[in-house]
Structure 1
Amino acid sequence: MTYFEGKVVIVTGSSTGIGRATAELFAKRGAKVTITGRSAESLEITRQLCEKAAGGNADKVLSIIGDVTKEEDTKRIIAETINKFGQLDVLVNNAGAATKPGLQDSHYSQPLEVFDYVMNLNARSLIALDQEAIPHLKKTKGNIVNVSSILGFRAYPSMAYYCMAKAANDQLNRILAIDLAKEGIRVNNINPGPVRTEFLNRNGEPEAARDWVEDNIIKPNCPMARSATSEEMATVIAFLANNDEARFVTGQMLVADGGMSISSPPLPTNAS
C-alpha cells in the first residue's frame, strides 16, 4: 500500500506509543515523515524505525526535538518540514497527556496550573499547529487527523481536566471541518479507548499499573476484553488521512475502543 508515496506527513508526539506507530506506518506506506517530541532518546528510536520502514532512506525522515506547547516550536516544526520537503499533506495532532508530569491524575481538585498544562498540551497546541499548517494544506488539499479520546464524551472524575481538553478537541474538529471544507481540507478525529502504551507510566503510575488496569478495568468492561495496540490505532489514522479511501469523511469522531463506550457496566454477581 503506497498511497502516501510523495505525501508529506507530520506526526506530533511521535516519541512513543500511537505517535511512533503512526509515523512508522506512514513511512512504510511511502510518505515523507516529520517526527517530533520532547525526548531526544525516544525520538531517535522512532527515527530509526521510520528509516527502516522507508527502505533505509534517511532523507524521507525529519526528526525535530520540540514542545508543542511552545509557539516558537510549533512554528519551527511546520517551517522546517516545508523547508526540507516543500509541502505538507497531512498533520497528525497526536501529542497529549492526561496530567502534568509527576501527578497521577487531573482531578478537578488539582491546582489550576495542572488545568493549564493539560489544556495547553491537548487543546491549545492543536490550534497553534493548525494555524501554521492550514496555509500549506490548502495548497495540497490535505487533511488533519487529531488523536482525541472516548473521554471527550465520557465523564471520568479523576481525569476531569483531560476529559475537558478532549471534549474541546472534538468540538474544534467539528468547527474546522465546516470551515475548511470549502478549501478542500478534511478534518477528523480518532477517539481511542484503552490502548496499551506508556501512557499510565508517563502519568506517574508504576509499571505494574498497566497489568492491573488491563485485568481489572479493561477486560471486564470492554466487549473485546483487551486494550488496543498502538499499531491498530495507526491503521485507523492512516485511513482517515487517505484522501482516496476517506475522501467524503470529515468532521467525524471515529471511535476505536473495542466497544467500550457502548458497553453497559457489568452486572453484580448476585443479579438474578
Structure 2
Amino acid sequence: MTYFEGKVVIVTGASTGIGRATAELFAQRGAKVAITGRNAESLEKTRQLCEKAAGGSADKVHVVIADVTKEEDTKRIIAETVNKFGQLDVLVNNAGAGTKPGYNDSHFTQPLEVFDYVMNLNARSLIALDQEAIPHLKKTKGNIVNVSSIGAFKAFPALAYYCMAKAAIDQLNRVLAIDLAKEGIRVNNINPGPVRTEFTTAMGMPDASQDWMEENIVKPNCPLGRSATPEEMATVIAFLANNDEARFVTGQLLVADGGTSISSPPLPTQAS
C-alpha cells in the first residue's frame, strides 16, 4: 500500500510509542517523513526503522531534534521539512506528556508551573505548529491529525491538567476544521484509550507499573480486555490522513479505546 507516495509527513513526538509507530507506517506506505523529538538517541532508532520501512531509502527520512514548546523550534521543524522535501502534506501533532518530569502526584495538587508545562506541551505547541504549517498545507490541500485522548472527555482526577489540555485540543480541532475547510484542509483527532507505551514511565512511574495497570485497571474496564499497541493507533492516524479514504471526514474525534469510554464498572456478583 503506497497511497502516501510523494507525500510529505511531519510526526512530532516520534522518539517512541505512537509517534514512532506512526512515522514508520507512513514511511512504509511511501511518504517522505520528518520525525521530531528531543531525544536524539531515540530519534535515531526511529530513523533506522523508518529507513528500513521505506526500503532502505535514507533520503525519505529527515530528523529534526526539537522541543515543540519553543516557538523557534516549531518554526524550524516546518521550515526544515519544506526546505528538505519541497512541500508539506500531513502534520501529525503527537508530542505530549502527562506531567512535568519530576512530578507524579495528583495533578490538582501540583503547582501552576506544572499546569503551564502540560498546557504548553500538549496544547499550545499545536497552535504554534499549525500556524507555521497551514500556509504549506493550503498549497497541497493537506491535513492535520492531532493525537488527543479519551481523557479529554472522561475524567481522570490524577491527570487533571492533562485532561484539560486534551479537551482544549478537541475544541481546537472543531474550530480549525470549520475555519480551514474553505482551504481544502481537513483537521481530525484520534482519541486513544489505553495504549502500551512509555507514557507512565515518562511520568516517573516504575516499569512494573505498566503491568500492574494492565491487570488491575485496563483489563477490568476495557471491553476488549487489553491495551492497544502503538501500531494500532498508527493505522487510525494513517486513515485520517488519507485524502482518499477519509476525504469527507473533518472536525471529528475518532475514539480508539477498545470501548473503555463507554464501559460501566462490572456489577457485583449476585449472591446465590
What is the aligned partner in structure 2 of residue 43 from structure 1? 43
Q: Distance in 1 between matches of 2:3 and 2:38?
A: 30
Q: Retained in 2: the 8 A contact 1:106–1:162? A: no
What is the aligned partner in structure 1 of residue 192 from structure 2? 192
Paired residues for 1:183-222 under 5 Å: 183-222=183-222
Q: Which amino acid aligns with 2:27?
A: A
Q: Sequence identity, in percent? A: 85
Divergent runs of 4+, >3 A: 269-272
Q: Distance in 1 between matches of 2:207 and 2:194?
A: 16
The alpha carbon displacement at 1:269 in A equals 3.8
SS in 1 for 2:108: coil
The alpha carbon displacement at 1:109 in A equals 1.7
Q: Distance in 2 between matches of 1:122 and 1:240?
A: 20
Q: Retained in 2: the 8 A contact 1:99–1:105? A: no
Q: Distance in 2 between matches of 1:59 and 1:170?
A: 34
SS in 2 for 1:63: strand
The alpha carbon displacement at 1:267 in A equals 1.8
What is the aligned partner in structure 1 of residue 92 from structure 2? 92
Q: Retained in 2: the 8 A contact 1:98–1:105? A: no
The alpha carbon displacement at 1:105 in A equals 4.3
What is the aligned partner in structure 2 of residue 3 from structure 1? 3
Describe the superposition over 1:163-211 as per-residue Cα deviations: whole angstroms up to 9, x where unpaired. Answer: 0000000000000000000000000000000000011000010010000
Q: Retained in 1: the 8 A contact 2:103–2:110? A: no
Verify: 1:182 aligned to 2:182, yes or no: yes
| TM-score, normalisation: structure 2 | 0.99
The alpha carbon displacement at 1:268 in A equals 2.7
The alpha carbon displacement at 1:18 in A equals 0.1
Paired residues for 1:1-272 under 5 Å: 1-105=1-105, 107-270=107-270
Q: Show structure 2 runs of 5+ residues with no match.
A: none
Q: Show structure 1 runs of 5+ residues with no match.
A: none
Describe the superposition over 1:130-154 as per-residue Cα deviations: whole angstroms up to 9, x where unpaired. Answer: 0000000000000000000000001
In structure 2, do the counterparts of structure 1 residues 201 and 271 end up closer, same or farther at CA, with 3 Å as the change threshold?
Answer: farther
Q: How many residue pairs align between the two structures?
A: 272
Q: Does 258-267 or 128-137 show the bigger shift?
A: 258-267
In structure 2, do the counterparts of structure 1 residues 86 and 146 end up closer, same or farther at CA, with 3 Å as the change threshold?
Answer: same
SS in 2 for 1:108: helix
Q: Which amino acid aligns with 1:108?
A: F
> In angstroms, what is the RMSD of aligned CA positions?
0.9
